[in-house]
């Protein structure tokens, strides 16, 4: 039996970037879904690229090429496989773990910064020149920021084509394309099909009705994850923290639905995410969370999906985390009991920082007093969480005023491309914000997988997954749930 089929295989080597091409080919030959999103392979004789778990006949080694990103495969002239849909895999865990410029850039591109601000805007946020960003991304990933954003736009377009009845012209601009011609050319290049043919190829259950030109019922999504996923603890935490007016969790345990409002670059949104019944077993290939998005502007689709992925920690690598933490005598029984436990993030980093500082009850007061009311409330969801600038002007005194003013003027940056160390230093420089609150913000808002609370003496063997180790201890009732 191949080592790639063994549940205990040390997948942590993936994060070190040391897999050679022969090892990657063995993963392809084994159709190992644990590597979906970690790399892609393309077949020279067919002109198609796939995810490692593609069910098609394994190609001969001499005909296979490997790519770090789908954009790199597309840039080399390969089309996406229609069987395995490589564009729909979970994102690489590397981009959430890494704190260097490439990791920060990938998080920003995922959030739609290139579409909104161009490569110049991306470079400014990273503190580099556009030429440096282009060079670093191309050298490591085989594609620059424009190509990476183009691949993301193509995926967004496919989702809209196959799940809504919107006219093709509207979908082109909603996906971020500058023109219908650019949209048509990209869809043909990536999927080897016209937009209308791609829509016709949608699964019967998800095919849009010609009589429904707008997504009035919301856009249905499957938010993919790799490996086992412990949804229960994530929904427990969200239910415990839910701020009235902005969030709600309803339904019985195991079948709950989390709903919340979203402030997005072009408009607002309401999302519903379902807790899948039953805990997945260790060693499973992966799965998804069902979600539905209602957006006032469809250009926000990509951004909202990425923010949900960070909230539910869907791009994590549970195999690498469990392999490291499961070797520790204290954590081993906890990991065995809850394989694939996640470290939840947030859908709005600035909102999370305010809530971490003031607590749930005060956050609810701020929402009712300063939050913007939705034009069309949806059940108990009535408001957006107030923006930092609004709070800074309304309540300028004390720690809350200091934090919101710093967020509003950019002295503290918590966007996906923020430098984590710089953000923590800026937070600790604010009056009234202690180290414990800064650690919560670093874990949840900045997605750092290796945060230890102040004063905690945690073993180095838990690195680089101390955030996950603490989540195991909290879920088991051994630590305060903060």
Q: Rounded distance, CA 359 to CA 152, Å?
A: 36
Catalytic residue among 375, 397, 457, 460: 457
388 within 8 A of 408, measured Cβ to Cβ = yes
How many other C-beta atoms lie within 10 A of the C-beta of residue 316? 28
Order of strands across the sheet with 219-226? 219-226, 286-295, 268-274, 257-263, 247-250
Q: Rounded distance, CA 250 to CA 414, Å?
A: 30
Distances (CA, A) of 432 to 50, 389, 396, 401, 403: 51, 19, 13, 10, 9
**CA dihedral for 422, 425, 426, 427, sign (positive or negative):** positive
Q: Rounded distance, CA 116 to CA 122, Å?
A: 9
Relative orientation angle of helices 301-311 and 145-163, to the nearest 10 degrees: 100
68 within 8 A of 141, measured Cβ to Cβ = yes
Active site residue 457: yes
Q: Which residues are bridge partners to 43 per DSSP?
A: 48, 64
What would the two tokens of residue 177 be?
Answer: 């394309």
346 within 8 A of 308, measured Cβ to Cβ = no
Q: Which residues, including other chains, have CB under 8 Å from residue 51's CB and lie 6 or more apart?
A: 33, 36, 37, 40, 81, 84, 85, 86, 89
Active site residue 84: no
**CA dihedral for 274, 275, 280, 282, sign (positive or negative):** positive
Q: Rounded distance, CA 114 to CA 404, Å?
A: 26
Catalytic residue among 50, 54, 81, 84: 50
Peptide bond into 418 cis (omega under 30): no
Supply the residues annotated as catalytic: 50, 457
């Amino acid at each position: 039996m191949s080592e790639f089929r063994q549940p205990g295989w040390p997948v942590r080597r993936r994060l070190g970037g040391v897999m050679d091409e022969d090892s990657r080919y063995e993963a392809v030959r084994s159709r190992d879904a644990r590597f979906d999103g970690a790399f892609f392979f393309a077949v020279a004789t067919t002109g198609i690229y796939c995810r490692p778990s593609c069910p098609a006949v394994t190609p001969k080694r001499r005909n296979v090429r490997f790519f770090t990103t789908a954009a790199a495969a597309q840039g080399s002239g390969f089309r996406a496989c229609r069987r395995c849909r490589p564009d729909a895999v979970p994102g690489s865990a590397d981009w959430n773990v890494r704190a260097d410029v490439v990791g920060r850039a990938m998080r920003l591109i995922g959030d739609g910064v290139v579409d909104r601000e161009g490569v110049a805007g991306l470079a400014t946020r990273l503190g580099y020149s556009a030429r440096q960003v282009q060079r670093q991304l191309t050298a490591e990933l085989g594609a620059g920021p424009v190509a990476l954003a183009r691949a993301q736009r193509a995926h967004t377009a496919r989702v809209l084509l196959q799940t809504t009845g919107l006219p093709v012209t509207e979908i082109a601009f909603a996906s971020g394309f500058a023109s219908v011609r650019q949209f048509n050319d990209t869809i043909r290049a990536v999927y080897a099909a016209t937009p209308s043919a791609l829509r016709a190829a949608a699964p019967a259950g998800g095919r849009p009705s010609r009589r429904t030109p707008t997504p009035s019922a919301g856009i249905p999504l499957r938010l993919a994850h790799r490996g086992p996923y412990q949804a229960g603890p994530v929904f427990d935490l969200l239910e415990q923290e839910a701020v009235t007016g902005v969030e709600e969790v309803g339904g019985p345990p195991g079948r709950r639905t989390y709903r919340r409002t979203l402030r997005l670059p072009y408009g607002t949104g309401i999302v519903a995410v379902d807790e899948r019944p039953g805990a997945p077993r260790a060693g499973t290939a992966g799965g998804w969370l069902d979600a539905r998005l209602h957006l006032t502007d469809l250009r926000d689709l990509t951004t909202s999906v990425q923010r949900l992925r960070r909230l539910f920690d869907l791009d994590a690598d549970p195999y690498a985390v469990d392999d490291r933490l499961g070797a520790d005598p204290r954590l081993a029984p906890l990991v065995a009991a809850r394989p694939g436990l996640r470290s939840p993030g947030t859908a709005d980093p600035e909102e999370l920082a305010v809530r971490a500082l003031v607590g749930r009850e005060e956050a609810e007061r701020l929402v009712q007093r300063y939050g913007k009311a939705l034009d069309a409330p949806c059940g108990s969801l009535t408001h957006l969480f107030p923006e930092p600038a609004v709070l800074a002007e309304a309540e300028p005194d004390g720690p809350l005023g200091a934090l919101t003013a710093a967020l509003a003027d950019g002295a503290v940056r918590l966007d996906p491309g923020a430098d984590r160390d710089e953000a923590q230093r800026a937070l600790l420089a604010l009056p009234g914000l202690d180290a414990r609150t800064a650690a919560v913000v670093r874990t949840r808002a900045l997605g750092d997988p290796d945060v230890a609370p102040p004063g905690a003496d945690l073993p180095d063997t838990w690195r680089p997954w101390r955030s996950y180790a603490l989540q195991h201890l909290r879920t088991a009732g051994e630590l305060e749930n903060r």
